[in-house]
Amino acid sequence: MNKIIVFVFFSFLRALSPIYCDTIGGSAASTPRIFYMPMVSYTFITLGNIQAHNVVGGLTLYRFDPNEKDKLFSASLVYTPQVVTNINHDFPNLYHTAALAVMQKINRHMINGTFIGLTEKPVYGGLRTVMGMAGYSYNLIRGSHFSMDLGGRLIFMDIGLKLNNGMSWLLWAIPSISLSWKYEWITFGFIPGVWLTIAPKSPVSFMFQTGSHKYDASLWYRYFKKENPSAEIMGIGIGIKRDSSNVLISDGGRYGINYDAIYGSFRLLRLWEISGGWAFNGREGYEQVNWETLFESAGYSDDSMYSENIGSGFFISVSFRMSF
């Protein structure tokens, strides 16, 4: 298993935080409330002869007390069946991703935990296909423009490293740091990944993010609620990105599809989004996940895995979410 998984779920939690703030900030309740946010999406990708169908279903629960605004609890459960047809190798066509993430924030302290299973078998296909993570971070600096979080993660995963007695080494302690800057016309940060927004409160803004072997650069036109400049009502965007779809197989290997895309996207009321575009430079690959590939894949380019060109095509994605 690799750091791509860790990055994806920290990005997932970070992406949810503006939703919490907008929803909670607009609530007039003075007693603790529990909010629920169901989400469902479907993505279709075609690259040459290969076709991939991804269906995502999930539910996020979060608890907020207006009298203690520095305290927040959230839990999310996501399940994704993925069907890949006409694979050029003798791999299964159906894969499953199951993930559970829990987060508790109290003042400057944040504790989180994650369980992820990616395999051709539902939920569990052996130690090589699952990861567990427990993390803690402390908001060391919380200024008007600059913020820094320090912490660490204890990760449970089998990447094929064996001890002298033949047993697998399963526990990994990794320090963590997150830095961010916020100004009127620009917000940016890094670790994990890099993210940047130019003119975040303007109707026209530019967004960029990258991490592992993905990137996304987009230009957006949006409207905002007057009483909450960060609450997005509607948005139309165009951009270019590199995306991938990776799954683990119970034999300890990883199969993936990697492609670049030019796309357009339309969002409405934070309820639903539809995006699609032309996908090109499609590649697929397979590798055994081990000590070496774990750290090779931690950089911003992971091209070593993808060796076979599978052509170009298109993708379309539709997602729906709500909060109540």
Say how far residue 282 (Cα) sits from the centre of its chain.
Answer: 21
Question: How high does pLDDT run on average in the chain?
Answer: 80
Q: Any alpha helices (H) in 111-176, and if so which ranges? A: none
pLDDT computed for residue 4 by the predictor: 37
**Among all chains, which residue has been given the structure tokens 């047993």?**
167
Count of structural domains within the chain? 1
Q: In the predicted model, what is the mean pLDDT of residues 138-146? A: 93
Q: What is the CA radius of gyration of the chain?
A: 20
Q: Which of 109, 103, 81, 105 is nearest to 94 (CA)?
A: 81
pLDDT computed for residue 235 by the predictor: 82
Q: What tens digit of pLDDT does each residue of 189-222 get? A: 987 789 999 988 788 899 999 876 789 999 998 7
Q: What tens digit of pLDDT does each residue of 59-94 get? A: 999 898 877 778 899 999 999 999 988 876 777 888
What span, in angstroms and rounded, lies between the C-alpha atoms of 216 and 256?
19
Highest average pLDDT, of 6-20, 58-72, 142-156, comes from: 142-156
201 lies in which domain range?
3-321
Q: In the predicted model, what is the mean pLDDT of residues 292-313? A: 63
Higher pLDDT, 247 or 44: 44
Strands (E), the chain: 33-47, 50-65, 68-85, 94-106, 109-119, 130-142, 146-156, 171-182, 186-190, 194-198, 204-211, 214-225, 228-248, 253-268, 272-288, 308-321
Higher pLDDT, 77 or 289: 77
pLDDT computed for residue 27 by the predictor: 45
Say how far residue 110 (Cα) sits from the centre of its chain.
Answer: 18
pLDDT at 10 over 50: no
